[in-house]
Amino acid sequence: MQIESTETHWIHLFKNGKSIYTITILIGISLHAMDAFIISTLMPTIIYDLGNIEFYSWVLMVYMTSSIIGSSCAEIVRNFFGSRNGYFFAGLIFLTGTLISGLSFSMYFLLIGRLISGFGAGLIVAQNTSLIREFFSDKLRIKMIALLSSIWGLAALTGPLIGGFFAEINFWRGGFLFALPLIIIFMITALKAIPKHKKLNKKINFPFFRIVYLGLGVFLIGCTAIFNSIIVQLVAIILGLSLLYLSITLDTKSKTIDLFPKKPFSLNSATGTAYWYFIMISILPVAIGIYMPLTYQVVYGMSPIFAGYLGALLAVFWTLGAGISTNFSIRNQKFALVFGPLLSFISVILISFSIGNISWIYIAILTALSGSGIGLCMGHLVNWTMVLSQKGEESVTASSIHTVRSLGISLGAAGSGLIANMSGLKDKIDPSIVIKSVHYVELFAALAPAIAVMLGYILIYHRNKIEKNFL
């Protein structure tokens, strides 16, 4: 589909027939974002009603694992069902999982529901990225990604309120049932929005073992939050990484449908460099998101709600950073890809050494700055990944971005959890232990954007080389 180069303004997202694409994509990401913030708020109430507190972390882990598998299968679903029906199918899966979760009478059924929902969410997000690549120009892609970031910022603010409301009236099921009409609207808009132009391919050799290895790898890495033994956690991480390596290695040698581009993590390619950048930049928000609300509560004596909103500053300023950078020239985009993670690195380093020593106001400001840094670079990173993808790999590159980002989130959660436990947090929660643990966690988190700075330079090198050859 040809896109006019004159389409550079926000209004063009809703003109020339693009409004239906924009609305569909926005609804799709809203489902995923609101689900994350509402359900995390409701979990204490759910546990109180259903019991089985030992499965508390499993609810998130199961959802994340199946989401990664879903995003990996997105290209397979598009090939088998077609673009329109594949998108509708993703919504149907998410609807089924949400309904099962909302009607669950035991924790086991809830886990099944979250497993199904996660798979549907992964399919939706991955196909969203493919749609952005297919129907929007470079300039509009950056604005579209910024708009999607704003959805996450809005969800961070409204999700806890909605979840808190259902918790207050002691009706946690409402947090799931609340989303059903929106999912149905999404499915209807998907049928209206997506054209039937992609040919069906019913002779697909399903990459069963590659997906199994990928899923088991992510699952084992996620299991680190469950185990108390540090040795077991290390074994789980090593085994999980080994399975991920096996899955990716088999995928690069495959002559059937791919889960990833052929050189997904080679620094000799623009795509490989971009994927490593995605992983690094995805580690930081996890460490902030998990441990900063705890810090505000234990070290600074704040209420859970106020601490939660201070933690949400990262998402809010991520959105602002993304909005600021939408009109950047190519030169400024290159600057953002280096300066963004550098700003996050400096901010998190200062947080690490400042906890307990300075006012929470300064900690909140530094959190906001770290979010701004991510926002400045993320939209351009997504767009560059699409623009610089190898010929014939454009679709699989776009659809696998969510998988790679999710891998970074999993590694961030596992690494920060392991470091926190090794620092004594698993044994006792008091101000001195929290300060010590979060200090080391944030040092670990700061390492990721520091590496991303170097990856930014390598990615710029690849783009300059490609542009030179093109000219």
**Other CB atoms within 10 A of residue 324 CB:** 14
* Residue 162 reports pLDDT greater than 50: yes
Number of domains in the chain: 3
- Sequence-distant (≥ 6) Cβ neighbours of residue 417 within 8 angstroms: 224, 225, 233, 290
Expressed as residue numbers, the domain containing 232 is 205-256
**Residue 256 gets which letter from DSSP?**
S
Domain boundary among 157, 173, 201: 201
Domain assignment present for residue 225? The answer is yes
* 29/75 Cα distance (integer angstroms): 18
Which two tokens mark 178?
């609340």
- H or E stretch including 222? helix 208-222
CA torsion 37→43→45→47, rounded to 10°?
170
CATH number at residue 443: 1.20.1250.20
Task: Verify that 161 and 193 share a domain, yes or no.
Answer: yes
| Inside any domain, residue 6 | no
Q: Contact at 8 Å (CB) between 363 and 351?
A: yes
Structural tokens at position 419: 């470091």
Query: 261 in a domain, yes or no?
Result: no
Residue 205, pLDDT score: 66
Evaluate if pTM is beyond 0.95: no
pLDDT of residue 197: 56
pLDDT of residue 2: 39
Q: Kindly state whether residues 111 and 141 are assigned to the same domain.
A: yes
pLDDT exceeds 70 at position 366? yes
Computed over every residue of the chain, the mean pLDDT equals: 82
Q: Which of 201, 224, 239 is the last residue of a domain?
A: 201
- The answer on 215 and 165 residing in a single domain is no
Q: Which residues are within 8 A (CB) of 358 and not within 5 positions of it... i.e. 6 or more apart?
A: none
Residue with tokens 């808009």: 189
Contact 122, 68 (CB under 8 A): yes
Instruction: Examine the domain organization and report whether 323 and 424 are in the same domain.
Output: yes
pLDDT per position as a tens digit, 186-202: 888 888 777 765 555 55
Amino acid identity for residue 95 in this structure: L
In this structure, the answer to whether residues 240 and 309 fall within a common structural domain is no
C-alpha to C-alpha distances, 334 to 387, 439, 459, nearest whole angstrom: 14, 31, 9
Residues 171, 191, single domain; the answer is: yes
Q: What angle do CA 348, 353, 354 make, to 5 degrees?
A: 90
At which of 230, 256, 282 does a domain end? Answer: 256
Number of residues assigned to the chain: 471
The reply to whether 367 falls in a domain is yes
Whether residue 439 is found in the same domain as residue 291:
yes
pLDDT digits (tens, 9 = 90+) for 405-463: 888 888 887 888 788 878 877 666 788 888 888 899 899 999 999 999 999 999 999 98
Give 169's Cβ-side CA count (13 Å radius): 10
State the average pLDDT over residues 221-242: 79
Q: CA–CA distance from 44 to each of 48, 56, 170, 295 (Å)?
A: 6, 9, 11, 19
**Is the same domain home to 310 and 457?**
yes
Is residue 10 included in any domain, yes or no?
no
Half-sphere exposure of 361 (CA within 13 A, CB side): 1
pLDDT in tens, 295-306: 888 888 887 667
Same domain, 21 and 70: yes
Same domain, 218 and 279: no
Tokens of 335: 């600057």
Same domain, 111 and 132: yes
Contacts of 366 (CB under 8 A, 6+ apart): 347, 348, 350, 351, 354
Q: What is the pLDDT of residue 338?
A: 95
Q: Is the pLDDT of residue 345 over 90?
A: yes
Asked whether residue 210 is domain-assigned, the answer is yes
Any domain includes 222? yes
| For residues 149-157, average pLDDT | 77
340 lies in the same domain as 421: yes
SS (HEC) of 278-341: HHHHHHHHHHHHHHHHHHHHHCCCCCHHHHHHHHCHHHHHHHHHHHHHHHCCHHHHHHHHHHHH
**pLDDT tens, residue by residue, 323-343:** 888 888 888 999 999 999 999
Q: Is residue 272 part of a domain?
A: yes
Q: Which helix (H) or strand (E) holds 3?
A: none
